Structures are given as C-alpha cells and as structure tokens.
C-alpha cells in the first residue's frame, strides 16, 4: 500500500508537470481569460503546487492513520482553519439580544455569540443546524434573530451514559450537567426550533443552509 501510494504520486507528478506546462506557459495564442498575469503568477501558487499540496495532504493523512507518522495535535488542526475578521465577511448587522448573559461552562463566550449572530443576520439562511444544543442559550438567540428560519438543533439523548458505545466523548462534564434546550423552552415567543436527539457520530443530519458545529469536541482524523 505504501509503495503503491508513492508510485501513484510519481505518476501524478508527471501528469501535473505536463498540465502545468499547458496552463502556465506564456503562449500569445491562448485566449486572454486563460492567462495569468506576471504579477498573479508570482503571488499565486502554481497549478502543480496546488495539486501537489492536495495529494501530499492525502498521503500524509494515510500515513498518520496507519501510525507511520504521528497525528497532529488538536491545536495544530485548529491552526489550519483560516482566521478572519467578522468585518471582512459582514456589513453592519443589527442583532437582537433579549435577556441577560452570564458565562456558564459549556456556553459560547459572549464575543463568539455576537460574531455568530452577526454572520447569521447578514446571511439570513432559511435553515440552520446547530450541533450541540446544551441548554439552548445560543439556540434561543439564533431564533430571536431569525424567527422565520427553520432551526434544527441536536444533542445527545437526555439519558445518555458515559458507557454508551461510539466515539470517545470529551464533553462528559457538560453532558452530565446539561438541561437540553431549557433556555429556549422557557421563552414562549420562540417557535421555530426543532430539537433532535442523537449521537452526531452516527446521526443523519437534516440538510441546512448554515451549520453551527459546537458538539462533541473530540478531534479525530
């Protein structure tokens, strides 16, 4: 398997080289929209570099899964997610917050709630899926800001026990102390939330335009 992967990589390398020659050579006869300017070709990774990095990623992942290479830590995996400012992706949304907030272990920090609501109000998705309801504090605020949306939220069954089969769970202290959805259930104005119960390692999710993943903080590759 190891040598197959490597020889596959060699063939891919040759293919990529030929493809790159086709893509990047400065040929005046090609149409304008296919050409990259000199400045672009200096700043952008080449076609082969992009393809190579995809292939390398697949190979490295296989080697890690086989135990040949060590797996990257959770911090390293998180570092791969690009960091952007909320202001880069939304204009000036007006968000609604009704009630008080005090941080409870398991809740989203206030700044994260504001960032999430800003994006939601700006994009106004018709369907939302939240993974990890917990007490439903964030779920309620999402519903308050998008009352016409269909909001699906999922958490483990209320009688879930540590001993249940499936993925290793890192959230045991939260699982034990949660009152699933109690925050939004206590607000009679909230009508657009559908609560689901299941283990997201196995559950078939409802399709949604916007997904907020905040459950099962177990990193596995």
Ligand X SMILES: C[S@@+](CC[C@H](N)C(=O)[O-])C[C@H]1O[C@@H](n2cnc3c(N)ncnc32)[C@H](O)[C@@H]1O
Contact positions vs ligand X (CB under 6 A): 106-108, 130, 132, 134, 137-138, 154-156, 169, 171, 174-175, 178, 199-201, 214-216
Q: Which is nearer to ligand X, 48 or 139 (CB)?
A: 139
Angle of helix 2-24 relative to helix 47-65, nearest 10 degrees, comes to 170
Structure tokens at 23: 């893509």
Residues across the chain: 221
Facing residues of 155 across strands? Answer: 197
Minimum separation from the CB atom of position 28 to ligand X (A):
56
CB of residue 98 vs ligand X: minimum separation in angstroms? 16
With respect to ligand X, which residue has the nearer C-beta, 72 or 106? 106
CB nearer ligand X, residue 63 or residue 192: 192
Residue closer to ligand X (CB basis): 48 or 200? 200
Please give the Cα distance from 127 to 43 (Å, whole number): 38
Could you tell me which residues are beta bridge partners of residue 151?
128, 193
Q: How far is the CB of 133 from ligand X (least distance, A)?
A: 6
Q: How far apart are CA 216 and CA 203, in angstroms?
A: 13
Both structure tokens of 144: 């308050």
Under a CB-based contact definition with an 8 Å cutoff, are residues 123 and 210 in contact? yes
Fill in the DSSP letter of residue 128. E
Residue with Cβ nearer ligand X (16 or 129):
129
Q: Is residue 214 a contact partner of residue 136, using CB atoms and an 8 Å limit?
A: no
- The least distance separating ligand X from the CB of residue 106, rounded to whole angstroms, comes to 5
**Least Cβ distance, residue 80 to ligand X (angstroms):** 21
């Amino acid at each position: 398997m190891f040598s197959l992967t490597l020889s596959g990589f060699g063939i891919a390398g040759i293919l990529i080289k030929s493809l790159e020659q086709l893509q990047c050579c400065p040929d005046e006869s090609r149409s304008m929209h296919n050409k990259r300017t000199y400045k672009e070709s200096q700043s952008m990774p080449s076609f082969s570099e992009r393809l190579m990095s995809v292939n390398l990623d697949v190979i490295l992942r296989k080697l890690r899964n086989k135990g040949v290479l060590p797996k990257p830590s959770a911090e390293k995996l998180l570092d791969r997610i690009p960091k952007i400012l909320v202001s880069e992706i939304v204009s000036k949304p007006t968000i609604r917050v009704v009630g008080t907030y005090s941080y409870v272990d398991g809740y989203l920090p206030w700044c994260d709630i504001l960032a999430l609501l800003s994006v939601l109000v700006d994009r106004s998705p018709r369907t939302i899926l939240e993974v990890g309801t917990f007490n439903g504090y964030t779920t309620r605020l999402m519903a308050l800001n998008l009352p016409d949306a269909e909001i699906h939220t999922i958490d483990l069954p209320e009688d879930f026990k540590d001993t249940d089969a499936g993925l290793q769970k890192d959230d045991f202290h939260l699982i034990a102390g949660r009152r699933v959805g109690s925050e939004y259930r206590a607000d009679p104005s909230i009508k657009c939330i559908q609560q689901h119960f299941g283990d997201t390692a196995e559950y078939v999710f409802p399709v949604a335009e916007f997904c907020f993943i905040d459950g099962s903080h177990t990193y596995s590759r």
